[in-house]
Amino acid sequence: MDEQMAERQEARNVPEMSVYEQLYIQLYDYHFSRITFLELLEKWKETLQLPPTAQLPHAQHENS
């Protein structure tokens, strides 16, 4: 039980990363080739909680 208490205290002492920190770390992952550019954009979209992108009208005609 003491281990659980210690883990909870450690979890409280470590602040959650801000959005800016998350974006910065993801940018580093891209810079050091751990992820591709498109993966970077996808991670940023998730981090920033952006809505799904809608296709533009001209893109719909190209796909038809």
pLDDT digits (tens, 9 = 90+) for 1-59: 556 555 555 555 556 889 999 999 999 999 999 999 999 999 999 999 998 776 666 65
Distances (CA, A) of 17 to 6, 12, 21, 42, 60: 21, 13, 6, 19, 38
Is 40 in contact with 29 (CB distance < 8 Å)?
yes
Lookup result for tokens 């591709």: 36
Lookup result for tokens 């659980």: 4
pTM of the predicted model as reported, rounded to 2 decimal places: 0.58
Q: What is the pLDDT of residue 51?
A: 86
Q: Which residues contact 43 (CB under 8 A, 6 or more apart)?
A: 26, 35
Q: At 33, give phi and psi (nearest 5°).
A: 60, 30
